[in-house]
Amino acid sequence: MGELNHEDCPSWSRNKKTNNSDPEEKESNFTFRVPWSSSALGCSDLSRLYQQGPSIFIGLLGAQNTGKTTFLAANYLQLLSGEKYNNFEFCGSQTLGAWESIASWARINNEKQMPSFPPHTPRGVDRTPGILHFVLQDVNDKIKNIFLTDAPGEWFTRWAIDVDAIDAAGAKWTASQSDAFLIFADCEKLAGEERSVARRELRTIIERLGESIGSRPAVLVWAKSDKQPTEAIKRAIQSALERNIPHAKEFEVTVEDPASFARVFESVLNEAWTPKFCEPITEPIMGSSSFLAFRGHHAKS
């Protein structure tokens, strides 16, 4: 019956003297626990939600201050305003507290008159990033859990240099677990005095991801695109993308155009919503021996 104290259970305390001084039956107050706190999720939460239905895990990759958290806040605020992503619409979340802690920086209130960008995601040595969640439903009433990572950029910079670094475990985990990727390029930094460092960080992240991405969907997000880098820098990054992740798409986003964030998210959802079938297994003929060449009666010659 939900009693938190076992001694309050009638079956436990049936030998206990009861107080019948009050003829009227007292109303019982029950306290129930729910399996979520509205904070960012962890691995154990993922296991629970993955068992409940189809899920899509989207990893946000990029160096420090490239616009990953701003991307999350922008999409959440648009969902709150009723925005639909093509065939998808919002129908629930178990991390509303975490979403609000990010989006609150973009709102006007009595204490902070002017909205601002979300603060930098703090760096740590956790093996998994904070994970934000919501549920989307398509036009065919099919529902899927959507998970997005909110991880510090230092993880990915370190992971690009040393894949097995202790302080890059969270980035390595994100790369291995994600169904799709958003790679963030900071146009403002690429166009500024630190453009050489920004270009090197981005290229190494692209190269590292290219080692394990396979055919999983990926989008290169040109964040803060109101500040454009030179054509030479942009071509160098696009060349690295073409060599390492040739199937990746490119989009530009800026706070001057809030709908640009929705277009990126809509694109990756369209790619990941219906996963591709596995490629058929080809059984090669090994050597010239007729014994080794036998592939079963089902195989075509």
Model confidence at 114: pLDDT above 70: no
pLDDT of 131 > 70? The answer is yes
Burial state string for 102-139 with b = 16 or more CB within 10 A and e = fewer than 16: bbeebeeeeeeeeeeebeebeeeeeebbbbbbbbbebe
DSSP run (H or E) holding 220: strand 218-223
The whole-angstrom separation of Cα 271 and Cα 280 is 20
Between 27 and 278, where is the model more confident? 278
Asked if residue 299 belongs to a domain, the reply is: no
**Within a domain: residue 28?**
no
Q: Count how many Cα atoms sit within 13 Å of the Cα of residue 277 in the half-sphere of its side chain.
A: 3
Confidence at residue 40, expressed as pLDDT on a 0 to 100 scale: 81
**How far is Cα 249 from Cα 272, in angstroms, rounded to an integer?**
13
Contact call for residues 64 and 188 (beta carbons, < 8 A): no
Note the pLDDT of residue 23: 47
More confident residue, 23 or 107: 107
Question: Is residue 285, in this structure, part of any structural domain at all?
Answer: no
- Return the pLDDT at 31: 58
What per-residue confidence (pLDDT) applies to 57?
95
* Residue 179 located in a structural domain: yes
Task: Summarize pLDDT for 174-192 with one digit per residue, the tens.
Answer: 999 999 999 999 999 999 9
In the prediction, which pLDDT does 39 show?
Answer: 76
Two tokens, residue 295: 């592939």
How many Cα atoms within 13 Å fall on the side-chain side of residue 39?
A: 5
Burial of 35 (0-12, 13-18, 19+ CB in 10 A): exposed
Residue 256: closest CA among 156, 191, 198, 187: 187
**Residue 115, in any domain of the structure:** yes
Q: Which two tokens stand for residue 95?
A: 């991390």
19 part of a folded domain: no
Domain with 237, as residue range(s), is 43-273
Q: Is residue 260 part of a domain?
A: yes
More confident residue, 210 or 286: 210
- pLDDT score, position 115: 56
Place of tokens 């189809």: 54
Taking only Cα atoms into account, the Rg of the chain, rounded to an integer number of angstroms, comes to: 25
Containing 103, the helix (H) or strand (E) segment is: helix 96-103
Q: Among 13-22, 128-137, 205-214, 226-235, name the one with the lowest average pLDDT.
A: 13-22
Structurally, the chain folds into a number of domains equal to 1
- Tell me, what CATH number does 181's domain have? 3.40.50.300
Domain assignment present for 300: no
At residue 13, the 3 state secondary structure works out as: coil
Q: Is the pTM of this model over 0.85?
A: no
Mean pLDDT to the nearest integer, 143-159:
92
pLDDT tens track for 7-58: 877 777 655 555 554 544 444 455 556 656 677 887 778 888 888 889 999 9
